[in-house]
Amino acid sequence: MLICQPALRYSVFILLVKIMSEDKIVMVEGASPAMQAAAEQARKTFKYFWRELSWEYRRIIPGLGLAAVKVAFATDPDSEGPEVEHMWINEIQFDGDTVSGVLLNNPQWLDSIAAGDPVSVPLAEIGDWMYTINGKVYGGYSIDVMRSDMSKAEREEHDQAWGLDFGKPGEVMIVPAATQEKQGFLSGLFGKKEQPIILSTEDLPEHPMSENMAEKMDQGLRDEPAFARSVDEDGWTLLQRDALAGNLAPVSLLVKHGADPNALNPKGESALDLARKMGWPRIIALLEKKLH
């Protein structure tokens, strides 16, 4: 579960309710080709959202302003509203197949669910995801479609209303921009240059916390080697959790300190199975090498 101060939880709730209200204005456009393409991209890149959350859930002090997933709910065929109602859920959990969370607000067209209800849907059915760091939006594919249809003045008004940086229309940031390691004299004088990472980028960098925590994790596993083989209350090993989330350094260290790559979770999946399912090539290569 996400550790979050009450005031921050409240502000996150209010912000997402606002976003949800905006979605209702364009709800009938959910089946448009642009929205369908946005949903497909959101599903393809969901693994990076889950990787970010895997580290957020380890933090004592939250690093994300918000993190939520958009889900479509079928409405009553006899209602006067749209065929589906799009709503956001937070407190996200993921097991490789199913995305679970808590509904953020009451629906307009449905009576069967309400704010605070638990929700679970297959990954193949989510419509979007987004998280924010220091006011910068990552993900938000459907929001990008809406912003792309706005005039410059409308976008500025939209962004000012939310107090968030959504970036340039037509570009969706997946993870924080990578900072160039090599700089020339002039770039050194005027600061580091960031390269935006957008939805077309395949080979995204390792999560910074994965690299920064490696030394401490290595020492921790040296001190408590049994931890590498521990199983949580849901029957998952740490190796399986990190393989699913795409955390290369922890996977490497866990294997180094005796984690069993052949161990299966309650669904009969190994760490390698989970890495293959999500498409983490570096982890796949590491585990295949270990098993052969």
Q: How far apart are CA 135 and CA 65, in angstroms?
A: 7
d(CA 153, CA 35): 22
Residues 198/173, Cβ–Cβ less than 8 Å:
yes
Q: What is the pLDDT of residue 18?
A: 55
Residue 184 — pLDDT band, cuts 50, 70, 90? very low
User: What pLDDT, on the 0 to 100 scale, is given for residue 227?
Assistant: 93
pLDDT of residue 177: 75
- 17-40 tens-digit pLDDT: 555 555 443 343 456 899 999 999
Q: Which residues pair with 16 in a beta bridge?
A: none
Residues making up the chain, counted from first to last: 292
Contact (Cβ atoms closer than 8 angstroms) between residue 66 and residue 131:
yes
Maximum average pLDDT range among 8-12, 37-41, 195-199, 202-206: 37-41
Mean pLDDT of 68-84: 82
CB atoms within 10 A of CB 141: 24
pLDDT reported for residue 3: 35
C-alpha span between 70 and 142 (Å, rounded): 9
Q: Is residue 29 classed exposed, middle or buried when 0-12, 13-18 and 19+ CB atoms within 10 A define those classes?
A: middle
Domain at 208-291, CATH from 1.10.3720.10, 1.25.40.20, 3.10.100.10, 3.40.50.2000: 1.25.40.20
Question: What is the average pLDDT score of the chain?
Answer: 83
**Whole-number pLDDT of residue 19:** 55
pTM over 0.75: yes
Q: So where are the chain's domains?
A: 6-178, 208-291
**187 vs 38, higher pLDDT:** 38
Question: Does residue 60 carry a pLDDT above 70?
Answer: yes
Report the distance separating Cα 121 and Cα 126, nearest Å.
7
Question: Structure tokens of 275?
Answer: 């890495």
